[in-house]
Amino acid sequence: MPDKTILIWKPSNDTNCEYKPMGPWKGIMMGSHWIADKAPLLLEILHNAKTIKSCNWNLTITPQGYAIGTNRFKENKPRRVRRAIEGLITSSQLAAELSYLSWNISTTLSFSFTHAMHSMCEYVEQNRRWALAASASDPTTFSRVMFNNPYLTARKVGPGVIKVWPCVALEPSQYVFIPLEELNPVKKECFEFIPIKIDIGGEEKIAFVNPENMIISPSSRKAPCNAFRKQIINIDNEIFEVDQITGTISEINVNYYKNMAFDPPVIHGINPISFHQLVLNNVTDFLTLFLLEQRT
C-alpha cells in the first residue's frame, strides 16, 4: 500500500466453485427419494443422473438442483450377490428375513411419524407466532376470529394480553348516514370515520362508525376529503360505498374469489419387501456332510 501497510488474507478455495457444501444431514432412503430427518429437504436420486466435477469433487446432480457426492451415492447402493436359483430354506434364514422385515417396517414408520410430528410442531409454533403478532396489531379482529363472534371489541393491555368486551348490534332503523353539512354547514371537512346519527331510546346522537371493524365512536379525527370522502363498508354481508359529503350510499357489485382448490400433497409410498426363494446355504454343503457321515 502507499502508506506502507500490508493486507494479508487467506483465499477461499470454494469461491469459484459451482457448488458449495451445505450439509451434511442425516436422513433415510424411501425408494429413490432421500428425506432429511429434521431439515425440510427431499432429494430424488436417479440412477441415470448427471454427474459433474467441481473443485475436485465428483458430484451427482438431483432434479431439485442440489448435488451430492458421487462416492457417497455409490456407497448407499445395495450390493447384491448372485445366488442359486433353487434351494432349500432353513428356519434360521426365514427368521433372519422376517427379523429384517420387522426392523425395516419399524424404522420406516418411526421415521415417518417423527418427520410428521416435527412438521406439525413447526406449523403450530408458526401459528402461535402469527397469533401473537395479530393480537398485538389488531386485537379486535383477532378476538372475533378466535371466539367466532363478530360482536366483540378488544384492546391490548399488556405483553401478550388483550381485554375483550361484548358489543350490541344496532338495527337498520336505529342509524342513518348523514351529510357533512349537518355537522358543519360552513366548512365541510371530512373525517377518518363515517358520520352517522343513531337513535337510542328515543334520543338521537351524532357518532362515527369505523368501516373496518364497525365500532361506533363518539368522535373522529379530521381527514382529507380526497382520500376519505368515499369509503367502503360491509352491512349485513353486503358491500356499500358511503359518500361523506352527501351522506348517500350505493351498493357495489363484488366478485368473490371462491377458488379454494389446492393441489393434493405428494405422499411417497413405502416400497414393500417381497421374499424370494434364495439360497443362503448351498445344498451341496448338506450333501457333503451327509456323505462324510456315511463313510465314517
Whether residue 55 contacts residue 61, with contact meaning beta carbons closer than 8 Å, is answered with no
- pLDDT per residue as tens digits for the range 24-35: 777 777 777 777
The pLDDT score that the predictor gives to residue 265 is 60
Does this model's pTM top 0.95?
Answer: no
The more confidently predicted of residues 22 and 177 is 177
Res. 154 pLDDT band, cuts 50 70 90: very high
Which helix or strand (DSSP H or E) is residue 235 part of? strand 230-235
The pLDDT score that the predictor gives to residue 73 is 55
> Is the pLDDT assigned to residue 86 strictly greater than 70?
no
The pLDDT score that the predictor gives to residue 163 is 93
Q: What is the spatial distance between Cα 182 and Cα 138, in angstroms, rounded to a whole number?
A: 32
The pLDDT score that the predictor gives to residue 293 is 44
Mean of the per-residue pLDDT values of the chain: 77
Tell me how crowded residue 68 is: count the other CB atoms within 10 A of its CB. 19
> Is the pLDDT assigned to residue 87 strictly greater than 80?
no
What's the mean pLDDT in 77-102? Answer: 62
The pLDDT score that the predictor gives to residue 208 is 93
- pLDDT per residue as tens digits for the range 213-246: 899 999 999 999 888 999 999 888 889 999 998 8
Which CATH fold topology does 82-167 show?
A: 1.20.5
> Is the pLDDT assigned to residue 277 strictly greater than 60?
no
Percent of the chain beyond pLDDT 90? 15
Report domain 168-251's class. mainly beta
The more confidently predicted of residues 263 and 294 is 263
What is the distance in angstroms between the CA of the first residue and the CA of the last residue of the chain? 95
CATH 2.30.30, the chain: domain bounds: 168-251
Q: What residues form DSSP beta bridges with 232? A: 241
Whether residue 252 contacts residue 239, with contact meaning beta carbons closer than 8 Å, is answered with yes
Cα dihedral across residues 274, 275, 278, 280: positive or negative:
positive
> Is the pLDDT assigned to residue 275 strictly greater than 70?
no
Q: What is the spatial distance between Cα 220 and Cα 184, in angstroms, rounded to a whole number?
A: 14
CATH 1.20.5.1890, the chain: domain bounds: 82-167
The pLDDT score that the predictor gives to residue 294 is 43
3-state secondary structure (DSSP) of residue 224: coil
